[in-house]
Chain A
Amino acid sequence: MIKIENLSKIYKIHRIFEGLNIKKEKSVTALNDVSFTIDNNKIIGLLGPNGAGKTTLLKILTNILLPENGEIEFNGIKLSQNPDYFKNNSGIVNSEERSFYWRLSVLENLRFFMGIFQDKPDEDKILEILGLLGIENIKNRPFRMLSSGMKAKIQIARVLLKLPKLLVLDEPFSNIDFNSREEIKAFLLKWVKEEDRMIIITSHHWEEIIEWIDETVLIDQGQIVGKQKKIEGKKYIRICYKSGIEKRIPLNDVKESIVIDPNFTSIEIENEMLTDIIKRLKK
């Protein structure tokens, strides 16, 4: 379990000159008094607009950044007392394709990261994880020759080599197609339910993850502005287009003036409260 309490992060610019008083420092508050809890075997969705502080929070959780104030407890261990515990037990996936060595093959990349992630590297584990993700056949392909979907899967493979208790996913699906996204989500859903694992994920496109997450934490301008536990059952309008694209519009977002693409093939709405909307849509 992870407990985040009163976490604040301020980016300070020109602080190097503080003592000399050469330039006044500017500061940007990225996180302001953030508190919430992540339970074991749960997937938390961290949702918010650009610049809300999502990535900063994830980087603090993985010990890439340090907070200004506040505390995080990871299985009872405090960040301020043992930052290495956070580094060793968490893993991050981002949408950054560049975080690999493009001259090397998939296997060579994963061997390198396994070497720095694990004290006793086990090469068979790499093949096992590639197999689980269904991408064993690309192991010898240079990283630069992979599609975006493949690269996203390699990111997942890399982080799993670390055997993290906390998996942090920062916009992991931004470059990948629907099918790859669904495959990865299905894989991770199974993964998180084993042992004491947790996932925290950010996304701008929450219709992509809303079904998948156990709890939503809404963040804006560095502050938590709302929390929502998962409501079982359907709580969205599903629209299937002729192109094969599926769109889910959450109920809270449905307004009277909803516009539907004329090329859709079907609309599915299941909620007694929505009779009125259905009538409007049928018109």
Chain B
Amino acid sequence: MRITKVIPFIKRDFKIFISYPISMLFSLLSIFITLFIFYFLSKVISVGEVMVKYSSDYFSFVIIGIAFSSAVSTGLNTIVSSLRNEQMKGTFEMLLTGRLSTDELLLGFLSFNTLFEVVRLILTLLFAILFFDLKLQFRYSYISVIFLIFTFLTFLSFGIISAGIILITKRGNPLAFLINQSMVLFSGVYFPYEILPKWLRVFSYMFPTTYALKGIRLNLLKGYGFSMVYKELIIMIILSLILFPLSILFFKYALKKGKKWGTITTY
């Protein structure tokens, strides 16, 4: 893996991004709009018994949920959308003729959007702290960074598998759609998963974001250290360490099969 091969992708995507100044402006504005909406919504939502263990107010709870789930879902969506874009634009074949390894190609697809989402996450938390009185515990905040990295890797794995499926089947992105929607419903992005009926909670336990958001909230909002969230962290690390190499292997297999069956050049 050569990082020099990824830099041209970052420069390219940045230049394309700034060539749409209005879209860039709206992207920043949307952070404020989200904060405003949930700030005022939190004024009419009372904090129940279940939520108290995470936070003393709904605003803090939901902003952590939205900011972090948005960042990790980049891993799920970016590879697929980049691949489809390149196919539709007609540039994908040219990328295949480049002196790039599969890993470098995937990282190239991913880099700019990931950096952008990290900036977005930081800005969301920063604006929330500065203008909406969000109170975070920074003492052990590195634990949240570790959570973020491994949750991102888990979602990225699903994204890479989804992209591999596209190379073979030429179909859209059903896997990403299913995971995105289920994450919002079952993982506790907008409300604690504990309020779901028992039979629905079974699905919550199947989603990595359930553990990640729980760990991040306890860490950033309650100031819990490693000893209090290690179970959630270990689950995330194990999941990502299993899924990530498997997803890369699957994508390489799909690329080879796509070249063999000819599905790679059609969309």
Write the residues of chain A forming the contact surface with B, with a CB cutoff of 8 angstroms: 9, 11-12, 15-16, 30, 56, 59, 62-66, 68, 87-88, 90-92, 96, 98-101, 103-104, 108, 111-119, 121, 158, 162
With both chains docked as a complex, state the minimum distance between the C-beta of B264 and any C-beta of chain A, in angstroms: 7
A residues less than 8 Å from B15 (CB atoms):
103-104, 108
25 CB < 8 A contacts A-B: A9-B262, A11-B262, A12-B262, A15-B261, A16-B169, A30-B262, A56-B262, A59-B93, A62-B97, A64-B96, A65-B264, A66-B260, A87-B98, A99-B90, A99-B91, A99-B94, A101-B91, A103-B16, A103-B19, A104-B16, A112-B11, A113-B98, A116-B95, A118-B99, A162-B97
CA of A59 to CA of B95, assembled, Å: 13
Of chain A, the residue at the smallest CB distance from B171 is A16
In contact, B98 and A66 (Cβ under 8 angstroms): no
Docked Cα-Cα span, A12 to B262, in Å, equals 8
Report which B residues bind A (CB closer than 8 A): 2, 4-5, 7-9, 11-12, 15-16, 19-20, 89-91, 93-100, 108, 168-169, 256, 259-262, 264-265
Q: How far is the CB of B165 from chain A (nearest CB, A)?
A: 9
Which residues of A are found within 8 Å of B96, using beta-carbon distances?
63-64, 87
Question: When the two chains form their complex, are residues B7 and A66 in contact, meaning their CB atoms are under 8 A apart?
Answer: no
A-B complex: 9 closest residue pairs judged by Cβ atoms: A115-B8, A98-B90, A116-B98, A11-B262, A66-B259, A99-B90, A103-B19, A112-B12, A66-B260
- Known A-B contacts A64-B265, A101-B12, A101-B16; A119 and B99 likewise in contact (beta carbons under 8 Å): yes
Decide if B91 touches A66 in the complex (CB within 8 Å): no
Q: Is the CB of B261 within 8 A of A116?
A: no
- Residues in B with CB closer than 8 Å to A88 are 99
Question: Which residue on B lies nearest to A109, using beta carbons?
Answer: B12
Closest A residue to B96 using CB positions:
A64
Contact partner of B97 (CB less than 8 A), chosen from A90, A98, A119, is A90
A residues near B8, Cβ cutoff 8 Å:
111-112, 114-116, 121
Q: Give bound CA distance, A246 to B41, whole Å.
A: 74
What is the CA–CA distance of A119 and B5 in the complex, to the nearest angstrom?
8
In angstroms, Cα B98 to Cα A115, docked, is 9
Residue among A30, A65, A119 facing the most chain B CB atoms (10 A cut-off): A65
Contact of B89 among A11, A99, A111 (CB under 8 A): A99
Contact, CB under 8 Å: B90 / A64 = no
Shortest CB distance A222–B (Å): 13
Query: B90 near A111 (CB under 8 angstroms)?
Result: no
Q: Which residues of B contact A12 (CB under 8 A)?
A: 261-262
Cβ-defined contact, A63 with B12, below 8 A: no
Which residues of the partner chain A approach B108 to less than 8 Å between Cβ atoms? 116
- Could you say which residues of chain A place their CB within 8 Å of the CB of B7? 115
| Closest B residue to A65 using CB positions | B259
Query: Do A16 and B168 touch (CB < 8 A)?
Result: yes
In angstroms, Cα B261 to Cα A75, docked, is: 26
By a CB distance below 8 angstroms, the chain A residues around B95 are 116
* B-side contacts of A64, CB under 8 Å: 93, 96-97, 259, 264-265
Across-interface contacts of B90 in A (CB, < 8 A): 96, 98-99
A98-B94 Cα distance, complex, nearest whole Å: 11
> CB-nearest residue of chain B relative to A115?
B8
Q: Which residue of B lies closest to A67 (CB)?
A: B260
Tell me which of A16, A65, A99, A103 contacts B262 (CB under 8 A). Answer: A65
CB distance from A126 to the nearest CB of B (A): 13
What CA separation (Å) do A264 and B174 show in the bound complex?
A: 60
B93 touching A108, Cβ below 8 Å? no
Taking each of B94, B95, B99, which has the highest tally of chain A beta carbons within 10 Å of its own beta carbon?
Answer: B94
- CB-CB under 8 A from A116, the residues of chain B are 5, 8, 95, 98-100, 108
Select from chain B the residue with minimum beta-carbon distance to A119: B99
Instruction: Give the distance in Å from the alpha carbon of A103 to the alpha carbon of B262 in the complex.
Output: 29
Residue contact B260 to A63, C-beta cutoff 8 Å: no
Residues of B contacting A91 with CB < 8 Å?
97
Bound complex: CA A16 to CA B9 (Å): 32
Smallest CB separation, A179 vs chain B (Å): 26
- Max count, chain A CB within 10 A of own CB: residue among B2, B93, B97: B97
The chain B residue sitting closest to A13, CB to CB, is B261
Contacting residues, chain B, for A90 (C-beta < 8 A): 97
Residues of B within 8 A of A68 (CB): 260
* Nearest-CB residue, chain A, relative to B95: A116
7 more A-B contacts (CB under 8 A) besides A87-B98, A101-B91?
A9-B262, A11-B262, A64-B93, A64-B96, A99-B94, A103-B20, A104-B16
Report the minimum CB–CB distance from A51 to chain B (whole Å).
14
What CA separation (Å) do A12 and B260 show in the bound complex? 9
Measured between beta carbons, the chain B residues less than 8 angstroms from A111 are 8, 11
Separation of A99 and B20 alpha carbons in the complex (Å): 20
A157 to B96, CA, bound (A): 18
Bound: A104/B203 CA distance, A: 45
* Contact assessment for A92 and B97 in the assembled complex, using a CB-CB cutoff below 8 Å: yes
Q: Decide: A63 near B99, CB < 8 A? Known: A115-B5, A115-B7.
A: no
